[in-house]
Amino acid sequence: MPVTIKDIAKVAGVSYATVSRALNDLPEINENTRKRIKEIAKQMGYTPNAVARGLVKKNTNMIALLIPDISNPFYPEVARGVEDFARENGYCVFLCNTNWDEKNEENYLNILKERRVDGIIIAPVSIDTCDYVSKNKDDIPVVYIGNRVDDGNASYVVIDDFKAGYIATEYLLKLGHKNIAFIGGYDRSTSHIDRINGYKHALMENRLEPDINSIKGYSFRKESGYGTFLEMVKNRRVPTAIVAENDIIALGIMEAAEKHGYDVPKDISIIGIDDIEYGSLSKINLTTVAQPKFEIGQKAAGILLDIISGNAEAKQVILEPFLIVRGTCSRI
Amino acid sequence: MPVTIKDIAKVAGVSYATVSRALNDLPEINENTRKRIKEIAKQMGYTPNAVARGLVKKNTNMIALLIPDISNPFYPEVARGVEDFARENGYCVFLCNTNWDEKNEENYLNILKERRVDGIIIAPVSIDTCDYVSKNKDDIPVVYIGNRVDDGNASYVVIDDFKAGYIATEYLLKLGHKNIAFIGGYDRSTSHIDRINGYKHALMENRLEPDINSIKGYSFRKESGYGTFLEMVKNRRVPTAIVAENDIIALGIMEAAEKHGYDVPKDISIIGIDDIEYGSLSKINLTTVAQPKFEIGQKAAGILLDIISGNAEAKQVILEPFLIVRGTCSRI
DNA sequence: ATTATTATTTCAAACGTTTACGAAAAAGGA
DNA sequence: TCCTTTTTCGTAAACGTTTGAAATAATAAT
């Protein structure tokens, strides 16, 4: 049986209200008794019970982070940002891996409501879940990451995905490419749509035709890009350059390309989006459009905590992607 | 104001004890009233309050996962294993990133005690923290991962690190290498010590001298291996093969080697331990000794939940590492 | 019909805090 | 000295559940 505030009160010979006040550094208490009580508490090895406190104060100092796949090296970085900020502000964060499954997302949402988390950060699987979340979140604050949700007063932190797609494509255009394909994933996410639009827009500006190749399913794994590239060679529609929706896919494409005798970047240029860490290994050396992953997590947590504490309203932040030139693209 | 059990009781015209019994499917209740109450609860949009329940039941169905660095691709895999198992059994998991800082570990331990988590899985920064944890965990169950803790009845799940070091070294020996160095990190962890011992043992068996190079600090980043290899070239003590304590370090070594004109594996063979995912990229193709990361997390969670539920005592499991031959080692 | 048994429900305490309100004590002002 | 103000503390209710024990209703047994 852990020692409670009442036990302390008993040995200190005061009411337990006084103990509570002493321990919480409330003003209306004598300095000496506070010292004395704190001393006793320490002696007795007292550990405050956060769940009892949570019950009366109606907050838990817990937030949740819902992400589709912690294995995708993009998410650990944002998780780190979230955890970092949360920890420094006295919050603990639930790691909720949804495995790209909307059912899991919905289940988690309900569980988190039961647990009375103070807020939720979610990288939604699709825009459809955003709907579900917005409708069922009751009054618990939510901030989205990775996907815009323009329902008026939803909070989100994203990068300018249109610009990301645009920058990637524009870079390839500058290198002289005219035959630029896009390989991407699931189409029910704003980041996907925006990146494609950015890609299209850059091509339009140069009066070129887009060539969009969709990955079946939407598990962002290496295999995704791999298979899709294979399709392209089978159909004899291999372009001179490819914009990949993200780095994972880009790596899959690289694998496939090289395994089929295409030299990167001599025969084909490939550019990714995200800037996952191991794209920077010299053997990989992936040219990419970076997004500030850690910052995304950090900012999302910041906004969420501001909303929770009532210090701010919903906020939308759009961060800037930026080009990182490495070795997988070459002049044609 | 969310609807409570009392609100339901009021509209159902029963005591709130009955409501509780109905909602929790306890046996001593009439089937019809149960149906009726459940219906009303749904109508009213009732969400049970887990913190209130936690208070009286003295459990929270929350566990914590403490890891040094979620950026190290090793940990997301084990996190996935933990989360997966926990979720399927009704537990939520706190993600606690300690940033290789023992102070953070200790702080987290205290916070988690306050929050009354039901159990903790920890990949300790060093054996010293194991001590601290064991002493201060009070009666909350802990299972260690990555590090053995032989204090009699501590639970842990690890791989046979000695064997991992041995397998790696033996493989290089079989390829004909006689000059095999070890590059590794922080020496206050059993996995480090065991791997080194495995390495030594394999050499001893062949009457060869160990050559152990220690990384300064213990942040396992690419840079760690990189710098240490540079030292070796500066000191003109470059071996024909290197056992890296883990894959991250191995990649750092590869970077350094190639940047200084050493071809891998022609000039120098490198083998890692862990089998992180991107070691398998064809451009990297890192030969390594694998450990079952997902399974480690899963098993750890399994053991922890067993202990929590009182279904089992402390348990120690040692998983088998296994060699994955790829392209970074060659016959001399 | 009466009693014993069982099924169902209510009462009330408990979990460990916080906090509004009021009381007592101390200090200050006249 | 008496009254007012301030400081310090205690009382008790509240947070939303679960659960043992007692009470009632329903059913079975005689």
Q: How confident is the model at residue B216 (pLDDT cuts 50, 70, 90)?
A: low
User: Nearest nucleotide (C1') to the CA of residue A28?
Assistant: D8
What is the bridge-based pairing of β-strands A322-324 and A288-290? antiparallel
- Determine the distance between A228 (CA) and C14 (C1') in angstroms: 62
Short-list A210, A282, A213, A290, CA closest to A247: A290
The confidence score (pLDDT) of residue B172 equals 98
pLDDT at A2 over 80: yes
pLDDT at B6 over 90: yes
Mutate to test the interface with A, among B77, B78, B92 (most CBs of A within 10 A): B92
Q: What is the residue-averaged pLDDT of chain B?
A: 93
pLDDT digits (tens, 9 = 90+) for A249-296: 999 999 999 989 999 999 999 999 999 998 999 889 999 999 999 999
pLDDT at A19 over 70: yes
Q: Widest CA span of chain A, in angstroms?
A: 87
Residue length of chain A: 332
Q: Is the separation of the CB atoms in B317 and B143 below 8 Å?
A: no
The confidence score (pLDDT) of residue A151 equals 84
Residues with Cβ < 8 Å from B68, sequence gap 6 or more?
A: B75, B97, B98, B99, B100, B123, B125
End-to-end CA distance of chain A: give it in Å, rounded. Answer: 74
User: Nearest nucleotide (C1') to the CA of residue A33?
Assistant: D8
Q: What stretches of chain A show up as alpha helix (H) in DSSP?
A: 5-12, 16-23, 31-44, 50-57, 74-88, 102-114, 127-136, 161-174, 190-205, 222-234, 247-259, 293-308
Short-list A117, A124, A177, CA closest to A149: A124
pLDDT at A219 over 60: no
Kindly identify which residue of chain B lies nearest to residue A69, measuring between CA atoms.
Answer: B80
* Percentage of chain B exceeding pLDDT 70: 98
pLDDT digits (tens, 9 = 90+) for B218-234: 556 667 788 889 989 99
Chain C footprint positions (protein CB, under 7 Å): 7-12, 14-20
3-state secondary structure of A63: strand
pLDDT at A4 over 80: yes
* Percentage of chain A exceeding pLDDT 70: 98
pLDDT digits (tens, 9 = 90+) for B48-90: 999 999 999 999 999 999 999 999 999 999 999 999 999 999 9
Q: Is the separation of the CB atoms in B297 and B78 below 8 Å?
A: yes
Q: Is the separation of the CB atoms in A165 and A198 below 8 Å?
A: yes
Short-list A287, A285, A175, A177, CA closest to A240: A177
Short-list A148, A143, A138, A153, CA closest to A64: A143
List chain B residues with CB under 8 Å of A112. 92
> Mean per-residue pLDDT for B125-131?
89
- Flag if A94 and B93 touch (Cβ within 8 Å): yes
The confidence score (pLDDT) of residue B220 equals 60
Q: Is the separation of the CB atoms in B37 and B20 below 8 Å?
A: no
Q: How confident is the model at residue A59 (pLDDT cuts 50, 70, 90)?
A: very high
- Flag if A65 and B92 touch (Cβ within 8 Å): no
The confidence score (pLDDT) of residue B188 equals 80
Least confident range of A62-76, A220-234, B92-106: A220-234
Q: How confident is the model at residue B152 (pLDDT cuts 50, 70, 90)?
A: confident
Kindly identify which residue of chain B lies nearest to residue A47, measuring between CA atoms.
Answer: B114
> Mean per-residue pLDDT for A206-228?
77
Kindly identify which residue of chain B lies nearest to residue A70, measuring between CA atoms.
Answer: B76
Bond from prior residue into B321 cis (ω within 30 degrees of 0)? no
d(CA A67, CA A63): 13
The confidence score (pLDDT) of residue B217 equals 58
Q: How far is CA A301 from the centre of its chain?
A: 10
- Flag if B65 and A95 touch (Cβ within 8 Å): yes
- Flag if A277 and B52 touch (Cβ within 8 Å): no
Q: Considering only CA atoms, give the Rg of chain A.
A: 25
